[in-house]
Amino acid sequence: MNRALICLIMMFVSAPAFAGLYDEQRLNTLYKKEINGIRAYDDGEYDTAFKYLSDTASKGLKDSQYLVSIMFMQGQGTNKSILFGLAWLGVAVESGNEDWQRTFDTMYKALNEAQRTMVDEKIREYAEKYGSAPQGVTCAKRTSAGSRKIELRCAKNQGTYPDYDIELALTR
């Protein structure tokens, strides 16, 4: 009886440690969620898009992080928040996407010093949770198959990564 109880306790104690384990099947499910979110966004179904994309953004997927940033800034499917939008964009630009970086730089320059400080703090907070390093995401420029066009590709690696919910703006 004591062994069974100890085993049961060990299962419950160790379960959270494996909550962020990404194997091939879980990665495929994550990428499918992102695709569904992008499709919903393109179709103007912002509530559905935000549901999918906020989950995949929190797991480090850069395209999702970019779209979540836009959704926060526009108030699409979520409450409008320039602060949260710029913070997500600040994390998305880790990918090296030059267009996203230009957008971020333009918007950041329009802020006053106090606003920049708030955005910087929020980016640091988000990067610690959702950034490339803590979420095991690597990005690289590659030529696309059958062409000379260079494209940026990001992928989440297999392994164990922390699982965080995202922060939502309070007013819509």
> Between residues 168 and 170, which one has the greater pLDDT?
168
pLDDT digits (tens, 9 = 90+) for 77-134: 999 999 999 999 999 999 999 999 999 999 999 999 999 999 999 999 999 999 999 9
pLDDT at 18: 42
Distance CA 49, CA 83 (A): 20
Assign a CATH topology to domain 22-160: 1.25.40
> Between residues 56 and 148, which one has the greater pLDDT?
56
Domain borders along the chain are 22-160
Its pTM surpasses 0.85: no
Alpha helix (H) residue ranges in the chain: 2-14, 24-42, 46-58, 62-74, 82-92, 98-109, 113-130, 132-135
